[in-house]
């Protein structure tokens, strides 16, 4: 049995270029989506703080706006939040769409939504908030 000692092993140049291209595409998506996700988590934390502060709907909106200033939230404001009263307790919810440009005319659209309701159901935006 003859052993081929001169057989080369390793990654070819075209294989290396392909792997680097895949890593580049993943990096571009990551650089575009991670800041958006961090902002979404900050919004969820801010509505939890606003609900915990209690008070009227206007006071909760003001609390959210103050937290939004600190956390650099620019996507939504207190006026965009939806307040509902279920079983005597005010629940806060939000929903928005984020369009992230990737390259040229290619964009990534992400729908974010969140609520303080333990059931996890996001209420639809109503014309009049509860008092």
pLDDT tens figures, 71-119: 999 999 999 999 998 777 889 999 999 999 888 898 999 999 999 988 7
Q: Is residue 122 part of a domain?
A: no
Q: How many domains does the chain have?
A: 1
Any domain includes 124 = no
User: Structural domain of residue 88, as residue ranges?
Assistant: 13-115
Range 19-44 burial, b when 16+ CB lie within 10 A, else e = eeeeeeeeeeeeebeeeeeebbebbb
Task: Tell me whether residue 82 is in a domain.
Answer: yes
Q: Is residue 122 within 8 Å of residue 113, measured between CB atoms? A: yes
Residue 8 lies in a domain: no
Per-residue pLDDT tens over the stretch 51-67 = 998 889 999 999 999 99
Asked whether residue 90 is domain-assigned, the answer is yes
């Amino acid at each position: 049995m003859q052993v081929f000692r001169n057989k080369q092993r390793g990654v070819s140049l075209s294989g290396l270029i392909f792997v680097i291209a895949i890593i580049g595409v993943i990096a571009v998506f990551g650089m575009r989506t991670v800041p958006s996700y961090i902002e979404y988590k900050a919004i969820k934390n801010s509505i939890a703080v606003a609900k915990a502060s209690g008070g009227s709907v206007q006071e909760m909106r003001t609390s959210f706006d103050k937290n939004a200033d600190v956390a650099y939230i620019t996507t939504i404001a207190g006026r965009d939040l939806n307040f509902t009263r279920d079983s005597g307790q005010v629940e806060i919810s939000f929903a928005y769409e984020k369009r992230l440009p990737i390259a040229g005319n290619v964009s990534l659209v992400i729908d974010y939504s969140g609520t303080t309701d333990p059931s996890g159901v996001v209420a639809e935006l109503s014309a009049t908030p509860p008092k």
